[in-house]
Amino acid sequence: MVHRPRIHLIATGGTIAGTAPDPTDTRNYTAGTLTAEELIASIPPLKDLAEISVEQLYNLDSKDMTPDHWLGLARATQAALDRQDVDGVVITHGTDTMEESAWFLHLTVRSEKPVVMTGAMRPANHPQADGPGNLQAAVRLATEPRRTGVWMTMNGATMTARAATKSHTSGLNAFAHHADCQDFTTLRGRFSGVVPNSWPRVDILMAYAGAPTDLIDACVCHGARGLILALAGHGSIPANWRPALQRARAVGLTILRGSRCAGPVWRGQNAEPEFLATGDLPPAKARVLLMLSVAAGLDATDLASILASLNQEKP
Ligand code: SIN
């Protein structure tokens, strides 16, 4: 007998499970109020697509996700993927930090089965809610046996965990590719099994006209082990930041040059060769990679080759 695809749905909250007192108001609502069971029950066509088991892992607004939540999500996802009676995993998640969780899962989960994340820009009780369509698309994608790796689907677009970013605050098509790349294999599961006693602190510092250097010293004072610099343009370091950055490097911080703009930052042969660069990872995703690298005890040489493998450049 041919069985229907078996999908395990892990619910973590977000607008897809949110409700508004005024259903047409997309500005005032509470994310993560419906349970996964209620969400599934409100979308009858789902049961025609797959046999769905449900796990309510969290019910959060994703701005409140922490690295410990990422770890819990990775464990739940791996446990589901390892089950013989599960063909794929769907994760509902707030859109605000979905890309960070997706990238963490890409780096930590090992499986050939699909993992598809989705969310919504409008709360569940909105008359034109986008969640039901997004969730059906996610379940459909997760039933495709060849769709290995971690994916995100929103508003009819399907993106890799590596390339997707939220690029608009409120539009239905809020997600875009930050990288011109469909790579879904490099570094997949590279950090599986990394379970730190406590997460290394890695901060993101944005450059802006007149940005003070004491923010760099403050990160060092508060125990940061790494810094991601969201710099202007192609990662240009303000001249007045250099002494503080050198002090930070001298006490062992790993520092990556990135940009506050869309587009990649490459490690320069001429410009700033002593600093690693984020390549095509936006600052929040570069931070996830650096946290895992520090937690795994990797040194700057290891990290350089990891970044190079991701960006197919010389370490
Ligand atoms: C959230 O990220 O949890 C709230 C916003 C959203 O899901 O779109």
Distance of alpha carbon 33 from alpha carbon 259, whole angstroms:
35
Tokens of 180: 């011109």
Question: Strands 164-166 and 175-177: what pairing?
Answer: antiparallel
Report CA(33)–ligand 1 centroid distance (Å).
Answer: 12
* Cβ < 6 A, ligand 1 pocket: 13-15, 31, 61-63, 94-96, 119, 121
**Which residue in the list 12, 15, 92, 278 is annotated as catalytic?**
15
Q: Which atom of ligand 1 is nearest to the CA of 16?
A: 7
Q: Which atom of ligand 1 is nearest to the CA of 98?
A: 2
The model's pTM is: 0.96
| Minimal-distance CA residue to ligand 1 atom 7 | 94
Distance of alpha carbon 218 from alpha carbon 285, whole angstroms:
22
Report CA(20)–ligand 1 centroid distance (Å).
Answer: 13
Residues in the chain predicted with pLDDT less than 50, given as ranges, are 314-315
Distance of alpha carbon 6 from alpha carbon 181, whole angstroms:
30
Q: Report the pLDDT value the prediction gives residue 270, as an integer from 0 to 100.
A: 61
| Minimal-distance CA residue to ligand 1 atom 1 | 94
Q: Report the pLDDT value the prediction gives residue 310, as an integer from 0 to 100.
A: 87
State yes or no: is 15 an active-site residue: yes
Where b means 16+ CB within 10 Å and e means fewer, 49-78 reads bbebeebbbbbbbbeebebebbbebbebbb
Q: Which atom of ligand 1 is nearest to the CA of 63?
A: 2
